[in-house]
Amino acid sequence: MSTHPRAESLMVREKLVKAFEEGVVTTAGLIAHGRGECFDYIIGEKTRSFAFKAEKTAVAALLLADHPVISLNGNATALAVKEFIELARLVNAKIEVNLFYKSFRRIKTIARTLEENGWTEVYGVNKNVCATIPEISSLRCEVDSRGLYIADTVLLSIEDGDRTIVFRKMGKNVIAIDLNPFSRTSLWASITIVDNIIRAVPNMVSIAKTLRSEDKPRLKEILEDYSNTETLKEAVSLINSRLGLFALKGTFDLNVLENDGEKAYLNGR
């Protein structure tokens, strides 16, 4: 398998299939992962500058928040549970399990995965502290009254658009990790990280280690310097520039063209 041109991508895929067998990931989650793979392939499977900037801004937003909550679903747990926990500790956020394909069994399985990795206070599990957000039409409307309900800043990933829109209309800041810059989540989020979750969360952990010692005015500066429309435009421009170059050269070998693609992208800015 190591000779396969997409070996790393296949290893990540195996991780997800294992999580599927454990009941953490759903069939829909597997399909969603494939969609993400495709976008990652197009952006070149690396963290681009616009994504890194969004990651830095996201960490600043989490550090400035009064009630930051990391919302985990099956795929996010499968791909980066350790890193999400480390990030939550660094920015002092809660972790809540909130699922589109919701079952109490799945919630418990994901909560157990978190516990096995050292995070015990999992929100979204205890029915006694359940609040409802009626604007959300799926079972995702049931949230933790100590968590997503009162959150001012929410970090989510690989998301359906509906919930993102409702959260935004409620006035919450939404940070979304989403490889598809055209998704409704990407368009509605306050900060969209167009990057693979397996790179984005470790990056955010590193950034948080530095930024947590900065003072509030400096963190606010980072936020003010950020435009999400600009991020999305840059993401689409990169995709466009890469595809344009492939079309022009009449060859489609991503590795061969990577350097040129990079140059064209940087020159075009």
Binding site for its own copies (CB under 8 A): 5, 13, 16-17, 20, 27-28, 30-39, 41, 180-182, 184, 186-187, 229, 232-233, 236-237, 239-240, 243-244, 246-247, 250, 252, 254
- Tell me the closest approach of the beta carbon of residue 190 to its own copies, in angstroms: 16
Q: Quick check: 235 and 48 in contact, CB under 8 A?
A: yes
Question: How many CB atoms within 10 Å of residue 182?
Answer: 13
Query: Residue 13 Cβ, how far from its own copies at the closest point, in Å?
Result: 6
Nearer to its own copies, 4 or 220 (CB): 4
CB of 233 to its own copies, least distance (A): 6
Compute CA 116 distance to the chain's CA centroid, rounded to the nearest angstrom. 22
H or E element: which one contains 144?
strand 142-144
- Residue listed under structure tokens 């969209």: 192
Tell the smallest beta-carbon distance from residue 95 to its own copies (Å): 26
Minimum CB distance to its own copies smaller for 5 or for 118 = 5
Phi then psi for residue 173, to 5 deg, are -80, 130
Min separation Cβ 66 and its own copies, Å: 32
| Distance from C-alpha of 115 to C-alpha of 81, rounded to nearest angstrom | 10
Nearer to its own copies, 75 or 153 (CB): 75
For its own copies, the closer of residues 96 and 234 by Cβ is 234
CA atoms of 164 and 191, how far apart (whole Å): 11
Distance from C-alpha of 63 to C-alpha of 218, rounded to nearest angstrom: 11
> Hey, is 253 helix, strand or coil?
coil
**Structure letter (DSSP) for residue 159:** -
CA 243 vs CA 38, 187, 192, 196: distances in Å: 13, 22, 22, 19
Q: How far is the CB of 241 from its own copies (least distance, A)?
A: 9
CB closer to its own copies out of 16 and 85: 16
| Nearer CB in complex with its own copies: 79/207 | 79
